[in-house]
């Protein structure tokens, strides 16, 4: 009966998507409808072929080897690695485009304006999002001593539903359709789909915590839950829009003018604060103690860190709108909250670093731990630089310049990238039942290539950003501007080349990691002996 209902639903969906592809009023809508029609048709045929059979494991049953649902975590690790390479490749390419504009090829699909949101979404949502989903599923099961709530099917729905969101968003960017909202570019129906997937993700996470067999909720789960709940709120409010037509990808944003700008940067900054900070802090509080084989330095400090971060971060968004039409009181509020935010951020950094107390010698011999620890250092640097740049007098120099780009990438590559790499190196041998990674030497190569790449990238953008800001404000004795816009662009060329080379080094390191993880997974290392898996 269930199989028949599923087949009927897929058949109806295939028909509806085919109709939408026919009646769509713009190219992006038609392409997306056609993709969805082909996908649902494929699922329709697949469901017919397997109707009446049983899955390899019971729908609600965990994998028998460990007692945990790790299939979806393995898939998440693979997706994180693949999307990471795609995102880093796109970023490196557009970095070379800025230095050598001929690489735009005079084609709309390869222009910087379309590839830039493709790069940011691939790195933030595809690479970072898959890393967060995979690691949160892994961590919540082990710290709660319980398999994922909802069974295998719901977890797989979240995984594949999220991949569909990424594909729909990416194809929309390349074809030239966005909402014109930074980090929230996807069209209205893609936003609706992500909302459904995200609610399922929240249900799994909450359900697993509720049915836990461990009395204590480990602090990493606090950060993951805050990230999931807050991102849901931000996504829904910022993407409230009225579709032009049910057959069109175009929509009208509900909030106009300065209100729209405020809502956008309330979302934009807190996407950084909760997607790229709180979620990854959950990773920090699990993987650093595990890799160092030491307990968290101060569990009390981790709780203070959590509540201070949750209360303060949500107020800091207005610092993106200094010297705009936003009321002064809102700008000052954002600045003050950003400065206060420096203290709990560094409290978390100190907690992460001091977890190595008594194990500092491991940094010489364990490149995975070295990667995790360096990521915390970049977190500390980014969370000092951010509050400093929120001060209005400093912001008058940095705003609209490449200094902001350097700040973002020192955090995204150094903090988010490095801790994700460390987490992947930790997970793959355990998920594929291997004694060790294929090559520790390749991990060291990856570490140094990534570190040097980040330094070249961030330093070049700091130099060119400060130079750019100073050139913009330089005036002669009569009060006229000395430099034209073209002068500032020409002056930045050498640093743009350095930035692109830094990105190429970072990409090379990621390719080495992908090869190392693949060799580990396919069995180039020794197979670990079977062992019981307790709560961790």
pLDDT tens profile 293-326 = 999 999 999 999 999 999 999 999 999 999 999 9
In a domain, 463, yes or no: yes
Question: Residue 63: is its pLDDT beyond 80?
Answer: no
In a domain, 509, yes or no: yes
Res. 51 pLDDT band, cuts 50 70 90: confident
Structure tokens at 285: 């509080």
Q: By CB neighbour count within 10 A (0-12 exposed, 13-18 middle, 19+ buried), where does 351 fall?
A: buried
Structure tokens at 336: 């003050």
Of residues 481 and 50, more confidence is placed in 481
Q: Which sign, positive or negative, has the C-alpha torsion 172, 175, 179, 184?
A: positive
Helix (H) or strand (E) holding 243: strand 241-243
Of the residues 24, 53, 82, the one at which a domain ends: 53
pLDDT tens profile 403-438 = 999 999 999 999 999 999 999 999 999 999 999 999
Three-state secondary-structure class, residue 492: coil
CATH code: domain of residue 504 = 1.20.210.10
Could you tell me what percent of the chain has a pLDDT over 70?
94
In a domain, 337, yes or no: no
Distances (CA, A) of 284 to 30, 75, 145, 351, 410: 42, 21, 20, 10, 17
pLDDT tens profile 161-174 = 999 999 999 999 99
Res. 528 pLDDT band, cuts 50 70 90: low
What CA–CA distance (Å, rounded) separates 238 from 236? 6
Res. 3 pLDDT band, cuts 50 70 90: confident
Res. 242 pLDDT band, cuts 50 70 90: very high
Res. 217 pLDDT band, cuts 50 70 90: very high
**pTM of this prediction exceeds 0.85:** yes
CB atoms within 10 A of CB 62: 19
In a domain, 477, yes or no: yes
Nearest alpha carbon to residue 80 among 43, 155, 133 = 133
Question: Residue 184: is its pLDDT beyond 80?
Answer: yes
Alpha helices in 432-534, H assignment, sequence order: 440-473, 485-491, 493-521
| 439 contacts 519 by C-beta, under 8 angstroms | yes
Return the pLDDT at 536: 58
Return the pLDDT at 49: 85
Of the residues 53, 69, 87, the one at which a domain ends: 53
The chain-wide mean pLDDT, for the chain, equals 93
What CA–CA distance (Å, rounded) separates 248 from 416? 36
Could you tell me what percent of the chain has a pLDDT over 90?
90
Task: Provide φ and ψ at 254, rounded to 5°.
Answer: -70, -40
Q: DSSP character for 272?
A: I
In a domain, 445, yes or no: yes
Question: Residue 60: is its pLDDT beyond 50?
Answer: no
Residue with tokens 């001929």: 102
Return the pLDDT at 525: 52
Return the pLDDT at 265: 96
Question: Residue 365: is its pLDDT beyond 50?
Answer: yes
Return the pLDDT at 65: 54
Res. 526 pLDDT band, cuts 50 70 90: low
Q: DSSP character for 252?
A: E
Return the pLDDT at 6: 85
Question: Residue 54: is its pLDDT beyond 70?
Answer: no
DSSP string, 62-119: PPTTTSS--HHHHHHHHHHHHHHHHHHHHHHHHHHHHH-GGGGTT-GGGSHHHHHHHH
In a domain, 221, yes or no: no
* Residue 398: HSE in the Cβ half-sphere, 13 Å Cα cutoff: 23
Return the pLDDT at 58: 41
Of residues 54 and 82, more confidence is placed in 82
In a domain, 272, yes or no: no
Return the pLDDT at 358: 87
Structure tokens at 330: 């809102």
pLDDT tens profile 22-40 = 999 999 999 999 999 999 9
User: How many domains in the chain?
Assistant: 2
Res. 523 pLDDT band, cuts 50 70 90: confident
Return the pLDDT at 513: 98
pLDDT tens profile 454-493 = 999 999 999 999 999 999 999 999 999 999 999 999 999 9
For residues 502-525, give the mean pLDDT: 93
In a domain, 534, yes or no: yes
3-state secondary structure 128-193: HHHHHHHHHHHHHHHHHCCCCCCHHHHHHHHHHHHHHHHHHHHHHHHCCCCCCCCCCCCCHHHHHH
What domain range includes position 471? 358-536
pLDDT tens profile 85-130 = 999 999 999 999 999 999 999 999 999 999 999 999 999 999 999 9
């Amino acid at each position: 009966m269930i199989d028949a209902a599923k087949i009927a639903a897929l058949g109806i969906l295939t028909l509806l998507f085919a109709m939408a592809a026919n009646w769509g009023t713009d190219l992006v809508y038609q392409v997306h409808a056609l993709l969805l029609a082909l996908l649902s048709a494929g699922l329709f045929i697949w469901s017919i072929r397997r109707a009446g059979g049983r899955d390899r494991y019971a729908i609600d049953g965990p994998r028998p080897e460990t007692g945990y649902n790790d299939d979806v975590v393995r898939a998440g690790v693979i997706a994180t690695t693949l999307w990471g390479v795609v995102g880093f490749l796109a970023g490196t390419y557009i970095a070379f485009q800025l230095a050598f504009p001929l690489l735009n090829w005079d084609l709309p699909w390869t222009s910087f304006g379309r590839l830039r949101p493709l790069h940011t979404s691939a790195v933030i949502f595809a690479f970072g999002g898959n890393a967060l989903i995979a690691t949160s599923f892994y961590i919540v099961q082990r710290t709660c001593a319980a398999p994922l709530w909802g069974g295998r099917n719901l977890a797989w729905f979240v995984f594949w539903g999220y991949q569909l969101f990424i594909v729909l968003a990416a194809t929309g960017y390349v074809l030239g359709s966005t909402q014109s909202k930074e980090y929230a570019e996807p069209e209205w129906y893609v936003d609706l789909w992500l909302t459904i997937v995200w609610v399922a993700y929240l249900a799994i996470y909450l359900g697993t915590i509720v049915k836990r067999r461990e009395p204590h909720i480990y602090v990493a789960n606090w950060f993951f839950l805050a990230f999931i709940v807050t991102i849901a709120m931000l996504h829904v409010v910022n993407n409230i829009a009225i579709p032009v037509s049910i057959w069109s990808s175009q929509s009208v944003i509900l909030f106009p003018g300065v209100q729209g700008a405020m809502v956008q940067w309330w979302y934009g900054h807190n996407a950084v604060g909760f997607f790229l900070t709180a979620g990854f802090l959950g990773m920090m509080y699990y993987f650093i103690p595990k890799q160092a084989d030491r307990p968290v330095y101060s569990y009390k400090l981790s709780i203070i860190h959590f509540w201070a971060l949750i209360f303060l971060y949500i107020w800091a968004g207005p610092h993106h709108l200094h010297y705009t039409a936003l009321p002064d009181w809102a700008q000052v509020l954002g600045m003050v909250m950003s400065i206060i935010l420096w203290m709990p951020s560094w409290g978390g950094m100190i907690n992460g670093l001091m977890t190595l107390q008594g194990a500092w010698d491991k940094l010489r011999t364990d490149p995975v731990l070295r990667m995790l620890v360096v990521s915390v250092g970049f977190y500390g640097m980014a969370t000092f630089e951010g509050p400093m740049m929120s001060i209005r007098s400093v912001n008058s120099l940095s705003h609209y310049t490449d200094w902001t780009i350097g700040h973002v990438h020192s955090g995204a590559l150094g903090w988010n990238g490095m801790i994700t790499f460390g987490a992947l190196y930790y997970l793959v041998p355990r998920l594929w039942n291997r004694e060790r990674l294929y090559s520790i030497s390749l991990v060291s190569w990856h570490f140094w290539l990534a570190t040097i790449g980040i330094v070249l990238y961030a330093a070049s953008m700091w130099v060119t950003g400060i130079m750019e800001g100073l050139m913009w404000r330089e005036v002669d004795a009569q009060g006229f501007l000395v430099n034209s816009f073209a002068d500032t662009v020409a002056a930045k060329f050498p640093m743009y080349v350095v930035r692109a080379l830094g990105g190429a080094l970072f990409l090379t390191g990621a390719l080495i990691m992908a090869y190392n993880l693949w060799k580990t997974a396919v069995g180039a290392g020794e197979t670990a002996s079977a062992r019981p898996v307790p709560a961790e």
